[in-house]
Amino acid sequence: MTSPRRTALLAEMGLAPVWRRRAAAAGRGAGDAADDTVIAAEPVAASERAVAAGRTEAAAGRARAPAQGAIADGRASMVDPARAARIAALDWEALREDVGACTACSLCRTRKQTVFGTGVQEASWMIVGEAPGAEEDARGEPFVGQAGRLLDNMLAAIGRSRGADVYIANVLKCRPPGNRNPEPLEVAQCSPYMVRQIELARPRLLVAMGRFAAQTLLGTDASIAALRGRVHRYHGVPCVVTYHPAYLLRNLADKARAWEDLCFARGVARDLESGAVRPS
């Protein structure tokens, strides 16, 4: 039976089931059909089918070949090797300080503050977003405001929490003016920080939220639609791709697909625990 809390969380995501008795429906005419609320249980059922298919694929070893991630693609030439090596040796405290003092790109001139990360530093899950928005820039924390509340509700619906077993960070640590798309140079200069955060957090599973996060982690220009529903690898760490919560707020129809992706990620995590999918 679905608990009231889970029902409320799914309702927040726009996925709450509304049940209609078949007997009552059978006695209605065609003109009454428009008054019925379409049940939202199908996305959940579809998600379970996606999980089953994805877990079978992962267990059979058909996950994509390891991708080398942000520093391995053509943007590597934009990064000073000495700077990248220095960042790669920092611990959590030194890394946070270095991010706060960063002037490697022009975003340092327009930011209010840097946005480092939040959550448990050695978490089983790590969520990687794209770039801070206005509220994140003001508060210095990733995924706050309406998009952050949606993310928290999505995680809670699958039994996860940023305060318990999830670490959250963005590819960019500074807000692009006007929330524009990140530029290649900005991604390249910030990528060593993200890479080091992943190395320090040592997550068992990565969840890339949004096109720029997925493309940066996986070193690809493929769309979210092409990357969803499969287990990718970032330096050996299993990675699942889904939509960014801010995108979901503008495109409500894709909330059901995001729910499928989270159920898929939960299935991959269970397989990691059982040994059906090998961690890095």
In this model, does residue 112 exceed pLDDT 90? yes
pLDDT tens-digit series, residues 125-182: 999 999 999 999 999 999 998 999 999 999 999 999 988 889 999 999 999 999 999 9
The residue with greater pLDDT, 36 or 216, is: 216
In this model, does residue 246 exceed pLDDT 50? yes
> Does 16 reside within a domain?
no
pLDDT at residue 218 in the model: 96
What's CA 272's distance to the chain center, in Å? Answer: 18
pLDDT at residue 278 in the model: 61
> Does 58 reside within a domain?
no
Average pLDDT, the chain: 80
Residue 257 CA to residue 273 CA, distance in Å, equals 25
Residue among 208, 207, 206, 209 at smallest CA distance from 244: 209
pLDDT at residue 79 in the model: 83
> Does 32 reside within a domain?
no
Residue 176 CA to residue 181 CA, distance in Å, equals 7
DSSP state of 16: -
SS3 of 169, please?
Answer: strand
> Does 42 reside within a domain?
no
* CATH number, domain containing residue 268: 3.40.470.10
> Does 232 reside within a domain?
yes
The residue with greater pLDDT, 24 or 117, is: 117
pLDDT tens-digit series, residues 48-104: 444 444 444 444 433 333 334 444 455 556 788 999 999 999 999 999 999 999 999
Residue 177 CA to residue 172 CA, distance in Å, equals 12
What's CA 34's distance to the chain center, in Å? Answer: 36
**What range defines the domain where residue 229 resides?**
70-274
> Does 65 reside within a domain?
no
The residue with greater pLDDT, 13 or 248, is: 248
> Does 31 reside within a domain?
no
Residue 176 CA to residue 196 CA, distance in Å, equals 22
Domain count of the fold of the chain: 1
Neighbouring CB atoms inside 10 A of 7's CB total 15
pLDDT at residue 277 in the model: 63
The residue with greater pLDDT, 75 or 218, is: 218
pLDDT at residue 219 in the model: 94
**In the structure, what pLDDT confidence band is assigned to residue 260 with cuts at 50, 70 and 90?**
very high
Q: What is the pTM of this model?
A: 0.76
> Does 48 reside within a domain?
no
In this model, does residue 110 exceed pLDDT 80? yes
**In the structure, what pLDDT confidence band is assigned to residue 38 with cuts at 50, 70 and 90?**
very low
8 A C-beta contact, residue 191 and residue 70: yes
Cβ neighbours of residue 210 closer than 8 Å, sequence gap 6 or more:
129, 130, 224, 243, 244, 246, 247
pLDDT at residue 78 in the model: 77
Residue 164 CA to residue 154 CA, distance in Å, equals 14
Residue among 177, 166, 173 at smallest CA distance from 191: 173
pLDDT at residue 84 in the model: 95
Q: What is the mean pLDDT of residues 232-253?
A: 96
Percentage, residues of the chain above pLDDT 90 = 65
pLDDT at residue 10 in the model: 55
